[in-house]
Amino acid sequence: MEKESELLDGSVVLQKSVKRLHFGSWEEKEMAAKVIEKLAKEDVKARKVMAELGVIHMLVSMVATEVVRRRRAAIKALIELANGTFTNKALMLEAGISSKLPKDIDVVDEQTRHEFAELLLSLSSMSNTYFSLATSEILQFLIGILESASSLETKESCLGVLYNLSAVLENAGPLVSNGVVHTLLKLSSFKELSEKALAALGHLVVTLMGKKAMEDSSMVPESLIEILTWEDKPKCQELSAYIVMILAHQSSKQRDKMSKAGIVPVLLEVSLLGSSLAQKRAMKLLQWFKDERQTKMGPHSGPQTGRVAIGSPLHPREAVEGKKMMKNLVKQSLHKNMEMITRRANATGDSSNVKSLFLSTSSKSLPY
């Protein structure tokens, strides 16, 4: 009897709230939205019933209001209604939620920004369906939050939205044309946000538009090389190495830029001290740089018998001495690099690992 009474009471409250939301004054609509939020949070079945009663379209229309508390009541109710229901999310997108987002992010308070970001994060799980969330309104809203003085938690939610959108190949065009790559590269330099920003860049770099945008950026490759030095952020190192690999693959121009920016010593350090995955990627990159240098040296420099003047044959002893000299130069370069790495490792208390690596590694076994 008590259960039946509670269900009856809940049904009556729901009916009254829906009626007020549709036909009440603005104050009554606001109170109804708060009740709907509470009911949707407590009862999964109620979310479906509310959607059938048409509350979602009314709440979406309330999001466009300039009255802060009224707008927040609607957003919070929509967050609860979207929780775990494909149908309700689809209804919100059909109702045009993206067109209700504020045009000027500066006039939106921090709490409302966070709630908008939370709602968009929930809706972005629909990005792999026929609903397109990669609209200019949504992307510019997200970029506005990410480039403003918003909280870390709010920015993380926005990055989560961009990550979900970037996972869909068809979204690459709108994301790149709206300047998302530039924003992600800037945020990747902040350790608190770097992992999520790099993960989204990892999706975009495999597309032609995304790759070109990164190649043309003034922050590449320097910002990615800097991230490779973050020993306390192994996941960021792995993601950065992955992006560098995609950019460097079959592009001598990009490899030349990276080489001039000083990537080789950094890769050598990662190949020795990084995580297992980061080491593999660093070793692969080092092999590419080594092969390219040998290719360049072949036709342009080094002892070449075809260019020795007639009457001046190269003496065998001179050839042996030349090889010895080159070996010594390689060893000296290796020792300098290892000393630099050892000094850095000493600062982090990991010198024993480096020393053991140094003792067990010969110049022949190194990839570069």
Q: Is 95 left (phi over 0), alpha (psi -120 to 50) or beta?
A: alpha
* pLDDT one-digit tens code per residue, 91-107: 999 999 999 999 888 88
Q: For all residues of the chain together, what is the average pLDDT?
A: 84
Burial label, 358 (beta-carbon count in 10 A; 0-12, 13-18, 19+): middle
* pLDDT one-digit tens code per residue, 170-202: 999 999 999 999 999 999 999 999 999 999 999
Question: SS3 letters for 325-339?
Answer: HHHHHHHHHHHHHHH
Contact 133, 98 (CB under 8 A): yes
Considering only CA atoms, which of 265, 290, 279 is closest in space to residue 353? 279
**With the CA atoms of 143, 145, 146 and 149 taken in that order, what torsion angle do they form, in degrees rounded to the nearest 10?**
140
Considering only CA atoms, which of 208, 181, 285, 201 is closest in space to residue 241? 285
Burial label, 103 (beta-carbon count in 10 A; 0-12, 13-18, 19+): exposed
C-alpha 183/C-alpha 179 separation (Å) is 7
* pLDDT one-digit tens code per residue, 138-148: 999 999 999 99
C-alpha 211/C-alpha 217 separation (Å) is 10
pTM for the full predicted model = 0.78
Give the pLDDT score at 338: 66
* pLDDT one-digit tens code per residue, 116-134: 999 999 999 887 777 778 8
Burial label, 256 (beta-carbon count in 10 A; 0-12, 13-18, 19+): middle
The mean per-residue pLDDT over the stretch 326-339 comes to 62
C-alpha 33/C-alpha 98 separation (Å) is 20
pLDDT of 306 strictly over 60: no
Sign of CA dihedral 190, 196, 198, 200: negative
* Per-domain residue ranges of the chain: 12-97, 106-219, 220-294
pLDDT of 232 strictly over 80: yes
Q: What is the percent of the chain where pLDDT is above 90?
A: 66
Q: Which long-range contacts (CB under 8 A, 24 or more apart) does 246-252 make?
A: 246/205, 246/206, 246/211, 247/205, 247/211, 247/214, 247/215, 247/220, 247/221, 248/285, 248/288, 249/288, 251/215, 252/292
B/e letters for 131-167, b = 16+ CB within 10 Å, e = fewer, are ebbbeebbbbbbbbbbeeebeeebbebbbbbbbbbbb
Q: Is 20 left (phi over 0), alpha (psi -120 to 50) or beta?
A: alpha
Is CATH 1.20.140.10 what the domain over 106-219 is classified as, yes or no?
Answer: no
C-alpha 311/C-alpha 266 separation (Å) is 46
Do you know the residue count of the chain? 368
Q: What is the DSSP string of 39-104?
A: HHHH-HHHHHHHHHTTHHHHHHHHHT-S-HHHHHHHHHHHHHHHTT-HHHHHHHHHTTGGGGS-S-
Contact 227, 240 (CB under 8 A): yes
- Helix, strand, coil % in the chain, rounded to nearest 5: 75, 0, 25
Binning pLDDT at 50, 70 and 90, where does residue 295 land?
confident
Contact 363, 337 (CB under 8 A): no
C-alpha 343/C-alpha 147 separation (Å) is 37
Q: What is the DSSP string of 163-180?
A: HHHHTSGGGHHHHHHTTH
